[in-house]
Structure 1
Amino acid sequence: MLTVTAPDEVPEVSAGDDLADLLVPLVELADGDIVVVTSKVVSKAEGRLVEGDREEWITAETVRLVARRGPTRIVRNRLGLTMAAAGVDASNVARGAVVLLPVDPDASAARLRTAIAERTGRNVGVVVTDTAGRAWREGQTDIAVGAAGIVVLESFAGRVDEHGNELAVTAPATADEIASAAELAQGKLSGRPFAVVRGRADLVLPPGDDGPGAQALVRPEGADLFGYGAREAVIRAASLIAEDAPPFGAPATAEELTEALHRIGIDVVLVHDHELTCTADRPDAAGIVAMAHGWVVEVGEPGADLRLRPLTP
């Protein structure tokens, strides 16, 4: 049975507060419990409550713009997370102040895990959460931005279901599932930043093993299919700037690029693993498609066929 408990009576958290000291008197912890704490109170305790313009702080925390719709910016932030406003939060704080995400949420989780063990002798897992939207669904849910001492991702690859079908890519993001379950008990406006999830001791790692952390859930740059928003992808591909290429991912195969060029009416005359030659009647279009597939166009003599090669052969 899975139970989630979110204690009341948590005082306002300020810089320098010890989160373990705040939590331990409120709950009776057991080995195998998973302690969930919002990133906001972690950030407050670590002095990440700052003054200044919210938009300027979003810019400071941003590594790359993914998409923009009106005033809303979806960005990849310094932690590698793709989220609205880089995770900069102006809610439930004094006007003129914002809360930034922890500098290293996995390290924050590990410190809290150690502190709980020192005070209680209990071996628990810790998850640090924040709220994020989903690309294809309305609303938001909590995800793990930091973790220590738990299995953050299970792999079912190679297992067989009850019908004899082998599972190929099923990989439950258990840390995110724990984060969402805890949020149901915590609520957004109830002042309950902690939760204790009990019933999944199988996910808790042995003492001294903090695991890979929530960073293991972040896909590296270029490894997802949606490195840019739809409009931004067009602009970035048309810019033909090499520095804009990484989010498009590793270079496609010559066959994939050939098919893409054919789809927009460009004839490919010669194909090798690391080089294509195509007609030069639409050089701009060829350059855009090549850029989106991790290739570049080399322009020769006027009217000559275009040569395309991968950015990293």
Structure 2
Amino acid sequence: MKTTYHLIIFALVFSAACLNAQNGVQKSLGVSWGLSNIQRQDLIFSPMIHRDWSPVNTVIDYHRTGKAEQHLMAKFAYYRASIVEPYEYLSFYNGNETTVPQQFTVLDLNYDLGFPLVKNDRLQLLMGGRSANRLLPSGYSFGNLQSFGYYFSFGLDLWSRLQFHLGNRNRLSATLALPLLAYNARSSYLWHTDPYLMWNYSHNGLKAFGNYLTHGELQSWGKARGIDLDLQYLHTVNDRWDLGLRYLYSYRYNSDPNRFGQLENGIYFSGLYKF
């Protein structure tokens, strides 16, 4: 399976390199900002479902369209979720302290490569693949006890986009991505196990990150599942600028070493600069 994964990644990179020689390409750079909601349950740390709304959500997109569609996407979100109101507790070291919520960071770095199956003046259907890279660090705080959690995923998704032109100035698009396989690294089941302490003994964040990654495994739909949906409306203001609205939906599930579920959806304002 690892050989197949490497061959697919090589094919995507080789295709992208060949496409750089195309003439008459269209490029655009977009920024989206909005309000997003998260619901997360990670049985490694807690049986509770943590929920939060957050305005700290930004998406940056780069599109390059020629004979094929290339899309780079970076998405950042930050949440502070708590199942109870803050309360004071007695700390052995610092006296009275106030509880803090759990902290979830979501960072997606994706590269999409798609080729048109259907293309006319009103409709375009693209199919291809996505290099999906997701970093989900988290901080769990239960009074005096604080634990760092992580879920790092580097995978390959099946990718598709459907786009409708509504007249000359308006268009709708729907993008869907389904995971095929991924290299996933998650927190150990009992938090501060001997291996975890060994990975962090140097107090070097970069070295610890590398140690986390080396203890991951290649997984498919048996252990890791998900779906990503991107719905977008854009209105052409002039030859350079588009403005619009966007809805993003993402679901992640993983069963090893224990169940993890995350549902995230948000509404964004979008701006697109064409060059």
Verify same fold: TM over 0.5.
no
- Counting strand residues as a fraction of each chain, which structure ranks higher? 2
Higher helix share: 1
Shorter-normalised TM-score: what interval?
under 0.3
